[in-house]
Structure 1
């Protein structure tokens, strides 16, 4: 499985080049003054958001990134060459935490294409001996060493950027829904945990606007404690504006037909209270499996409890147009509210 959303790496910037100790030596000039140049600056380690990357897989393969050292200063007042920066490309939505003995803290949140963050600054080059000539010391035989670079351990965490997060119990039909409303082609089968990685789908609007939806792997009871697949992927809905909460019609039996909604809601509360407060569009999927009488009873049960529940069939397309329109409307309203 190539979808990797966490990596721990070490970065080290380059050392500054040492200043040069040199003197002017020319014919007919017996005592030329100091002319040692400065050392070059060490390279920085820079993280840059790349539109071509979707996971942190490459950073799992290479765990250490080092920039080159600056060049040593030369005679004849020639400065050493600055080292090139080491650029590390990461996908959009990457959080970078710096690891220290006291713990970890968030150092950068890279969300925009082309955004850069300097993780470790290169050392400054040392000054050559030409800077240390004084009235009492006409021939200084010393120069500054270059400053050392920085070394840091970093933990990178990818959180998908999507306006809509599609959540629910395993086998609720999340992958079928995202494939029906977008061009995404996730793996679909009628058994739990078909989806092992989040899938992104782009819903195209008539006006050219786009709505990005993420199909999050199924959550089960205890997901906030790492049970099932939920703990690894709950974080991917943390950036979404709204949630589409699916419940399979097959899970609506028993005294409480909507218990599946409550179970997942409870996991969201335990994982992140703010996440649990996100607006939700609730929908019962696979209504094509229900007879008309059973569907009528479910609709009435939702009304009796004051629940706004949509009844859809992602496979057959029933109710999808209304659901997508509501996704557009609510997303636009939330975006406007954020801008204000």
Structure 2
């Protein structure tokens, strides 16, 4: 791998104005479904956040403080849920997440991190079992999980010492109970990994140096900083197929091609997620006067609006081919009948 050479993304303007915008999701109920509802369709009585979707768009993971999703939930208690879209089945699979869960490509697992006494630990939730297990982290604090496509490999940050003084980027094969250490940092500045679907590639950030690297399991090697020596970068995500890495630098977003070592620049936007094939980028324009979320087809440079109302999204928010996008919003006019006054999780379907 070589340092990135930036090129202008085809069809991208020099500003955040979307090119060829179609399919506005802001119209009431047009292509949008609220996901954070009980199995019988009752709306949530608590805030719901996050939203991570599978490769095929079938299952969605999110967190919620709702008391009416499952019996016995205390008010204000955050839970992790997996929702199966074809059946409408909703399962509570975990409790007390610090941040929104991520999901495996096949939808069998979700991962999240929790506070245990004064330390943080990574939990792995399973759809079939409907419960969570702890990932065998040998450090005091583990956080920032990312899952492979089948959920077997968990990349995370392990923070060392009390008070914390250093950190590692690890990959756990939790089925074999083996660990691979990819990098050590002599600091605790925000660092985060993202793993490809087959577990071959892990893109990760050195939060102090502001560099993004790509580790290749097959070659046992780590790239030079992919953004090149003259930039500071923040990682977003590696695509599930391992072909692309999205990172932020300055006011722009870059989509790095792992094979060629080149990058496409999407100017004046904040990249949020990339679809499993590496062909569709979900971003938030830096210009806040227009739509809040836009999906770009990187092959054609054309855009489709995901939400005109204030909304946000995280990694794992886009299914393969850009068919579905999951996001959260407090807006009450995205779908009809939204009267709970809470943050909800939605999915925008383009097909």
Both proteins in one fold, TM over 0.5? no
Larger strand share, 1 or 2: 2
Q: Which has the larger radius of gyration?
A: 1
- TM superposition score normalised by structure 2: 0.24
- TM superposition score normalised by structure 1: 0.25
Larger helix share, 1 or 2: 1
Structure number with the bigger relative contact order (C-alpha 8 A, sep ≥ 6) is 2
